[in-house]
């Protein structure tokens, strides 16, 4: 086992110019001390493990650590784990830049049972993350998945009771500038819920919501988390595969009538699947996806970044998941099926692509 000890924080640097007031982003009043925040909640969550130190994992874990909880990060890379321990987290916010010391390990045995485990890995690594859970949980541990796409709960149910699984959807804009350096570029709500209507589970979720909000992550407990997951999925369906295939930034996707048509067709298919599952699908999903393109005009989608870096994408959990759900319902989704095949084809041909 290799466990890395925390480092001494380095001095901060000048903050970037961002548009969201920090008090609004956090949902708390400025100047409230960490001790005061902790006293406001019954802190039943004391030890936390974050699996996956990407942008969202570092953001949530970093703020919980800053609140005073015992937060561990689990990384599959020895090199990155050592770097994060040496340099810590550099968190850019509207009020300044903060250095936060991190505890990072590549082995679960040095952590012990946790009260909360947050899963922030890519969708295709969910099974690997789930295999780490038995040594991290006790009978009341909550496991929160903050991942894109569909199918994560089904994987987690193989290793723990569904009453211990929380599903989260966050709309915070967080960018990984480089290893250990993240920029909080836009505040948004975080919604948490369960696919299981259980009163005891709801009570645990309510405590989690309170702690996350106290940490600065404005969170609400919802009864329709599956619908919210699908509604966020619609935006990903409209942007990710098309940007990966065309290599266009988000804003450029809506400059082409042809690409806009494809976007509408893919989302319309997903809406039909959601409605067939009995979910209240968002009738404005197509327009919201276009609006998201304009609001993040200069962004390269995560799937485009994966393709440019010749990495595996999350196509199976996004467009591919819609195709899978549709087949089970006897619904045709030809556009999403073709988009899935094309992106998977690109993944398998990285070493064959012609150089410019």
**Range 226-349: architecture per CATH:** Orthogonal Bundle (1.10)
For residue 36, how many other CB atoms are within 10 A of its CB? 11
How far is the C-alpha of 190 from the C-alpha of 250, rounded, in Å? Answer: 23
The one catalytic residue in 232, 255, 290, 311 is 232
Does pLDDT of 146 surpass 70? yes
- The tens digit of pLDDT for each residue in 177-229 reads 899 999 887 778 899 999 877 777 788 899 999 999 999 999 999 999 999 99
Nearest to 84 by CA among 186, 174, 185, 176: 176
Q: What is the pLDDT of residue 189?
A: 87
| Class at the top of the CATH hierarchy for domain 3-223 | alpha beta
How far is the C-alpha of 84 from the C-alpha of 325, rounded, in Å? Answer: 39
Does pLDDT of 126 surpass 50? yes
Domain boundaries, the chain: 3-223, 226-349
Q: What are phi and psi of 140, to 5 degrees?
A: -115, 10
pLDDT > 70 in the chain, percent: 87
Max Cα distance, the chain (Å): 60
Q: What is the pLDDT of residue 41?
A: 53
Check if 232 is active-site: yes
The DSSP annotation for 117-169 comes to EEE-S-GGGHHHHHTTGGGTEEEEEEEEE--SSS-HHHHHTTTS-GGGEEEEE
- The tens digit of pLDDT for each residue in 85-104 reads 999 999 998 888 999 999 99
How far is the C-alpha of 183 from the C-alpha of 269, rounded, in Å? Answer: 34
Is-contact 169 230, C-beta < 8 A?
no
- The tens digit of pLDDT for each residue in 248-307 reads 999 999 999 999 999 999 999 999 999 999 999 899 999 999 998 998 888 888 899 899
| Residue carrying structure tokens 């970037």 | 16
> Who has greater pLDDT, 27 or 339?
339
Burial (0-12, 13-18, 19+ Cβ within 10 Å), 64: buried
């Amino acid at each position: 086992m290799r466990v890395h000890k925390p480092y001494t924080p380095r001095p901060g640097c000048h903050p970037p110019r961002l548009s969201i007031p920090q008090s609004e982003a956090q949902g708390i009043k400025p100047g409230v001390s960490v001790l005061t925040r902790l006293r406001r909640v019954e802190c039943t969550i004391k030890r936390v493990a974050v699996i996956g130190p990407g942008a969202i994992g570092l953001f949530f874990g970093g703020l919980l650590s800053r609140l005073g909880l015992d937060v561990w990060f689990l990384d599959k890379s020895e090199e990155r784990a050592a770097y994060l321990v040496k340099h810590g987290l550099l968190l850019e916010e509207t009020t300044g830049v903060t250095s936060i010391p991190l505890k990072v390990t590549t082995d679960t045995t040095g952590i012990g049972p946790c009260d909360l485990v947050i899963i922030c890995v890519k969708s295709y690594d969910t099974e690997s993350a789930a295999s780490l859970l038995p040594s991290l949980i006790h009978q009341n541990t909550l496991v929160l998945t903050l991942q894109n796409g569909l199918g994560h709960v089904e994987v987690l149910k193989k290793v723990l009771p569904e009453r211990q699984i929380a599903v989260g959807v966050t709309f915070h804009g967080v960018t990984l500038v480089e290893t250990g350096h993240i920029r909080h570029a836009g505040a948004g709500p975080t919604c948490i819920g369960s696919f299981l209507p259980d009163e005891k589970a709801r009570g645990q979720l309510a405590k989690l919501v309170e702690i996350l909000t106290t940490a600065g992550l404005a969170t609400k407990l919802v009864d329709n988390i599956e619908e919210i997951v699908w509604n966020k999925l619609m935006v990903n369906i409209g942007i990710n595969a098309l940007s990966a295939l065309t290599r266009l930034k988000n804003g450029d996707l809506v400059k082409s009538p042809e690409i806009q048509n494809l976007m509408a067709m893919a989302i319309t298919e997903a809406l039909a699947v959601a409605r067939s599952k009995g979910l209240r699908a968002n009738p404005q999903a197509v327009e919201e996806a276009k609006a998201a393109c304009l609001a993040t005009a200069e962004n390269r989608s995560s799937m485009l970044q994966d393709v440019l870096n010749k990495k595996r994408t999350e196509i199976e959990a996004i467009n591919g998941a819609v195709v899978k759900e549709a087949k089970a319902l006897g619904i045709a989704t030809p556009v999403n099926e073709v988009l899935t095949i094309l992106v998977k084809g690109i993944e398998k041909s990285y070493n064959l692509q012609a150089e410019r």
